[in-house]
Amino acid sequence: MTEQNILLAFILTAIAGLSTGIGSLIALIAKHTNTKFLCASLGFSAGIMLYVSFMEMMPQGKLELVSVYGEKMGTLYLILAFFAGIALINMIDFAIPKSLNPHEIQGVEDMDKKRSLKRTGIVVALSIAIHNFPEGIATFTSALGSLDVAIPITIAIAIHNIPEGIAVAVPIYHATGSRKKAFWLSFASGLAEPFGALIAYFFLMQFWTPAMNGIILAAVSGIMVFISLDELLPSAEKYGKHHISIMGLVAGMLVMAFSLYLFV
């Protein structure tokens, strides 16, 4: 693994994480949420994540693990790592109250509701950081592979983080009464992802082996599948745009399939 690959992984992770700032700008400028576009984008992101998880990362992870542990044990470790990734992100979701959970998507128009949060924006920002931290590790480790997988995953995470940026800015605005603070704290929350990449670099890279790579690929697949099924698609459903989100899902899978095909 070259220094150029590691630098590129950091850059892609930063792009994905800081896209929360785009959501923050939308929260500051827009008066209403474009539900059709948002639903299609959420579905598109979910399609990319699901397809690359099951069609690229899991098979590659199995190949790595089987080469080290054999067919039987390698497959078992793949399964355990996959569900461990799901368990990790699920526990984080469970630990954070719904009112502070950045994965509970809100619309821009919610900014106009006259209510306040008892907890401060700092508490909200901390919750965001906890949530985005494993996503940073997932993006970074995924980006360590080939570009045909890294770039689509970065795009998917970035799309996913835009509505999350809106959801982050809304409660912070209600807590502080300041739109500027809502923007900057929401933007800064995206730094949790490159910070996760740094942790992955300093603590995982020294143990990086084919077996570790296989386990990480399976665990990241679990995280991405959970985000897709627990957050992205249900969030699209809340806007009542079921068919649009499914068309976005299929489009995401199609784009991912042909992008991988081009590198065969």
- Residue 88 CA to residue 83 CA, distance in Å, equals 9
Check whether 213 is labelled as a binding-site residue: no
- What is the pLDDT averaged over residues 242-259? 86
- What is the pLDDT averaged over residues 5-20? 84
> Mean pLDDT in the chain?
77
By the 8 A CB rule, do 26 and 163 touch? no
Q: Which positions ≥6 away from 205 have C-beta within 8 Å?
A: 1, 6
Residue 236 has what pLDDT? Answer: 72
For 186-202, the pLDDT digits (tens) are 788 788 888 888 888 88
- What is the pLDDT averaged over residues 17-35? 72
Q: Which domain holds residue 120?
A: 3-262
HSE-up (13 A, CA, CB side) for residue 128: 31
By the 8 A CB rule, do 244 and 36 touch? yes
Higher-confidence residue of 38 and 198: namely 198
Q: What 3-state DSSP class applies to 104?
A: coil
Residue 80 has what pLDDT? Answer: 97
- What is the pLDDT averaged over residues 240-253? 85
CA angle 9, 130, 30 (to 5 degrees): 80
Check whether 71 is labelled as a binding-site residue: no
Q: Which positions ≥6 away from 96 have C-beta within 8 Å?
A: 127, 130, 131
For 151-189, the pLDDT digits (tens) are 777 777 787 677 667 766 766 676 667 778 778 877 887
Torsion of CA 147, 157, 202, 199, to 10 degrees: 180
| Total number of residues shown for the chain | 264
Q: Which residues of 255-264 are buried (b: 16+ CB within 10 A; e: fewer)?
A: bbbebbeeee
Residue 27 has what pLDDT? Answer: 66
Check whether 164 is labelled as a binding-site residue: yes
The tally of domains found in the chain comes to: 1
Phi, psi at 114, each rounded to 5°: -85, 80
Residue 33 has what pLDDT? Answer: 57
Torsion of CA 168, 184, 140, 153, to 10 degrees: 60
Residue in 165, 34, 48 with CA at minimum distance from that of residue 105: 165
Check whether 135 is labelled as a binding-site residue: yes
pLDDT band of 45, cuts 50, 70, 90 = confident
